[in-house]
Amino acid sequence: MMEIRIGIIGCGNISPAYFQGCRAFDILEVVACADIDPNRARARAEEFGTVAWPVEQILADPAIHIVVNLTVPKAHAEVNLAAIAADKHVYCEKPLAINLSDGLRTLAAAEKKGVRVGCAPDTFLGGGIQTCRKLIDDGIIGETVAATAFMTCRGHESWHPNPAFYYQPGGGPMLDMGPYYLTALVNLIGPIRRVTGSTRITFPERLVTSQPHYGTRIKVETATHVAGVLDFANGAVGTIITSFDIWAANLPRIEIYGTEGSISVPDPNRFDGPVLLRRAEASDWSEIPLTHSADLGRGIGVADMAYGLVHGRPHRASGELAYHVLEVMHAFEDASRTGRHVDIESWCVQPAALPLGLMPGRLDG
């Protein structure tokens, strides 16, 4: 099998998961990594048995096919566009960009260059959500009627080593965690045609209690509680709340409601279960054995892009899907500010379900 060589730009908190996850696929070879902090890049290179290069060297190397962009959100568009200009395919951590214009520029530049754009999250390719997808596709709960999605916590300043960007434009609970929930919903139900919503900033300032910035105060510049309603193209109606303002809650992660039953969907920030089903005639919920592997990690989206390049098929965690989710996330704030429904202009194809019976480390038969 042809090897697809990748360079990782950004060696922060999420990068170990990508180094490890990409190793699980023989189709991928990590050639080098880079970071704005050369010492951090060297440390990651030593940890994972690769080399640390300047960003410019990764972009200039013709042997590197895909740039994996793990920089902070405000740098996503800049790095994506630089990789595309260097004739590289690019796979980006979520979100695709912090604003719609940069997202559109990224997709337009890639189309002009004839390269691909992929974007996290890829957790919807894990066994948990793929099992839910198969139940829905097989008609087990009938026609999809509605969905709910809830992500509630008190924020990241108590544990994250660098929490400031979560409270700046491009952060907040919607752009931080919304991609997991909305991508899962689009994978399970299909694209979204209209949204409305309400947003607020509850605490104008946050006190960091994690190291190394203990005692620092962060000015909050983005909504920290977002409540929205989604109208899906197939007629289903969704409800979503993402919040950094809630100490505790008893809420599901995601539930899908159909004419013949309901599915409790596992945490979309993970690859595993449990998957719970309650059919119309049942007296209680039943746990469903996973139909697909959950022994996966971040990097499966990169591998799926690589398989797409080799076999000439679309990749699932696509730039079009990421842009659709980005537009939906921004539309909640627009709806709150203007007091109206917002029509979603973008469109994406519902990602293809993963086939059954894949061998470990393989995504095509």
Structure confidence by residue, pLDDT tens digits, 202-248: 999 999 999 999 999 999 999 999 999 999 999 999 999 999 999 99
Residue 24 DSSP one-character state: T
The pLDDT, as a whole number, for residue 2 is: 78
Q: In this structure, are 106 and 227 located in the same domain?
A: no
Within a domain: residue 304? Answer: no
Q: In this structure, are 272 and 165 located in the same domain?
A: yes
Q: In this structure, are 63 and 160 located in the same domain?
A: no
Within a domain: residue 115? Answer: yes
Amino acid at 82: A
Within a domain: residue 107? Answer: yes
Within a domain: residue 318? Answer: no
The pLDDT, as a whole number, for residue 365 is: 64
Average pLDDT value for residue range 41-63: 97
In order of 43, 92, 96, the CA distances from 12 in angstroms are 11, 14, 17
Q: In this structure, are 229 and 140 located in the same domain?
A: yes
Distance, in Å, from the CA atom of 57 to the CA atom of 8, rounded to the nearest integer, reads 12
Average pLDDT value for residue range 52-67: 98
Pairing, β 144-152 against β 261-265: unpaired
Average pLDDT value for residue range 311-317: 97
Mean predicted lDDT score pLDDT of the chain: 96
Domain boundary among 269, 288, 307: 288
Quote the tokens at residue 170.
């491009």
Domain boundary among 119, 154, 175: 119
CATH number for position 76: 3.40.50.720
Is residue 355 pLDDT above 70, yes or no? yes
Is residue 256 pLDDT above 80, yes or no? yes
Average pLDDT value for residue range 4-21: 96
Within a domain: residue 197? Answer: yes
Is residue 1 pLDDT above 70, yes or no? no
Average pLDDT value for residue range 52-60: 98
Within a domain: residue 193? Answer: yes
Q: In this structure, are 113 and 132 located in the same domain?
A: no
The pLDDT, as a whole number, for residue 23 is: 92
Residue 317 DSSP one-character state: S
Within a domain: residue 131? Answer: yes
pLDDT-derived band at 364, boundaries 50, 70, 90: confident
Distance, in Å, from the CA atom of 7 to the CA atom of 29, rounded to the nearest integer, reads 9
Model confidence over 31-48: pLDDT tens digits? 999 999 999 999 999 999
Q: In this structure, are 112 and 216 located in the same domain?
A: no
Distance, in Å, from the CA atom of 291 to the CA atom of 357, rounded to the nearest integer, reads 9
CATH number for position 153: 3.30.360.10
Q: In this structure, are 145 and 16 located in the same domain?
A: no
Distance, in Å, from the CA atom of 358 to the CA atom of 365, rounded to the nearest integer, reads 6
Give me the domain span that covers residue 213.
Answer: 127-288
- Predicted TM-score (pTM) of this structure: 0.96
Distance, in Å, from the CA atom of 365 to the CA atom of 355, rounded to the nearest integer, reads 8
pLDDT-derived band at 9, boundaries 50, 70, 90: very high
% of the chain with per-residue pLDDT over 70: 99
- Alpha helix locations (H) across the chain? 15-23, 38-48, 55-60, 76-85, 100-113, 127-137, 172-189, 300-311, 319-338
Q: In this structure, are 241 and 163 located in the same domain?
A: yes
**How would you classify residue 312: left for phi > 0, otherwise alpha for psi between -120 and 50, otherwise beta?**
left
Q: In this structure, are 15 and 86 located in the same domain?
A: yes
Q: In this structure, are 138 and 8 located in the same domain?
A: no
Domain boundary among 119, 142, 167: 119
Distance, in Å, from the CA atom of 74 to the CA atom of 170, rounded to the nearest integer, reads 7
Q: Does a cis peptide bond (omega within 30 degrees of 0) precede residue 268?
A: no
Q: In this structure, are 150 and 268 located in the same domain?
A: yes
The pLDDT, as a whole number, for residue 225 is: 98
Burial 137-156 (b: 16+ CB within 10 A, else e): eeebbeebebbbbbbbbebb
Average pLDDT value for residue range 323-340: 98
Contact indicator for 195, 335 with CB cutoff of 8 Å: yes
The pLDDT, as a whole number, for residue 360 is: 87
Q: Per the structure, how many domains does the chain have? A: 2
pLDDT-derived band at 361, boundaries 50, 70, 90: confident
Model confidence over 130-182: pLDDT tens digits? 999 999 999 999 999 999 999 999 999 999 998 998 999 888 999 999 999 99
Q: In this structure, are 113 and 170 located in the same domain?
A: no
Within a domain: residue 20? Answer: yes
